[in-house]
Amino acid sequence: MRRTVAALLSKELALELRTRESVPAMVLFTITTYVVFHFGLDRDSIDGDLASGVLWVTLLFAAILGINRLFVAEHEQGGFDGFLLAPVDRTALFVAKAIALFAYLCAVELFAVAAYAVLLLGPSLGQALPELVLVLVAANIGIAVVGTLVAALAIQTRARDLMVPLLALPLLVPVVLGASSATAPLLATGGAGPLPGDWLALLALYDLLFGLVAYAIFDFLLED
């Protein structure tokens, strides 16, 4: 199982490094979205609640782009058949894809948060950065798990681009709620407040629950 996951993951990352399909597009999308928010809100700098909301909505929509692309190569070039012919556990594909999506999201946020601090964010990130990273990681796990499940669900449907946001957005609302509530005090003007623990607990619970659900039912999406 571990070797299969490692092999699939290295294939996934090699593919992304060579084609550069998802991550640059997602980064570009987040920066464009900041510009759109700048004009939409007509504000030069934002802080607190509004700042964390803008950040998380942007990251969520960027994640939707990545989720949309996640299984396209497998679907179009017969990777599913090849994988099913191999005598390995099918859950390995889920684990590898979820880790890959997690890595993409982390890579995107590296640029996105930096660009956010430069372009739109009022208070400096400074000492709030470790807490912010914690929230980002917790939210990324949830997005990666649910996103992989939704991507696998939607890839076989006729209207894939339509189904992914329709399915993923309501499912990811708790992530946005928890993450943006947890981030809001970190981005407040006049020094970062303490990290609210209960919202982080909600994120962790979400990650755990959907991790287990997805782990249990992913097999059924791959039987053709």
Partner 1 sequence: MITTAFALVFFYAPVDADQGIIQKIFYVHVPMAIVALFGFMAGAVFAVMYLRTRDRRWDMRSYVTIHLSIVLAVGVLVTGSIWARASWGHWFVWDEPMLVVFLIVFLLYATYQPLRFSIEDSEKQARYASVFAITAGAFVPLCFGAVRMAENLTHPQAGTMTTSGPASVSQTFLVSLLGITLLFITLCKYEMASKNATSKLRSLRRRLAGDDDFTPAGGRSAAPQL
Closest CA to 47 of 199, 196, 191, 197: 191
3-state secondary structure of 189: coil
Min dist. Cβ of residue 170 to partner 1 (A) = 4
User: Which residue in 163, 179, 184, 186 binds partner 1 (CB under 8 A)?
Assistant: 163
Q: Which is nearer to partner 1, 61 or 111 (CB)?
A: 61
Pick from 159, 190, 194, 197 the residue near partner 1 by CB under 8 A: 159
Residues that contact partner 1, how many (by CB under 8 A): 30
Q: Which one, of 213, 193, 82, 174, lies nearest residue 131 by Cα? A: 193
Question: Is residue 151 within 8 Å of residue 164, measured between CB atoms?
Answer: yes
Q: Does 197 bind partner 1 (CB under 8 A)?
A: no
By CB under 8 A, name the one of 36, 41, 110, 217 that touches partner 1.
217
- Quick one: which of 157, 161, 189, 191 contacts partner 1 (CB under 8 A)? 157
Q: What x-and-dash track marks residues 111-150 binding partner 1 by CB under 8 A? A: -----------------------------------x--x-
Select 6 or 216, whichever has its Cβ closest to partner 1. 216
Rounded (10°) CA dihedral 168, 113, 30, 39: 120
**For residue 46, which of 135, 114, 133, 116 has the smallest C-alpha distance?**
116
Q: By 3-state DSSP, what share of the chain in percent is helix, strand and coil, each rounded to 5?
A: 80, 0, 20
Cα 198 from chain centre:
21
Q: Look up residue 170 and give its two tokens.
A: 């309501």
Contact call for residue 158 and partner 1 (CB under 8 A): yes
173 lies in the site for partner 1, by CB under 8 A: yes
Residue 200 CA to residue 203 CA, distance in Å, equals 5
Site membership for partner 1, residue 78 (CB under 8 A): no
* Residues binding partner 1 (CB under 8 A): 146, 149, 153, 156-159, 162-163, 166-167, 169-171, 173-174, 177, 198, 202, 205-206, 209-210, 213-214, 217, 220-221, 223-224
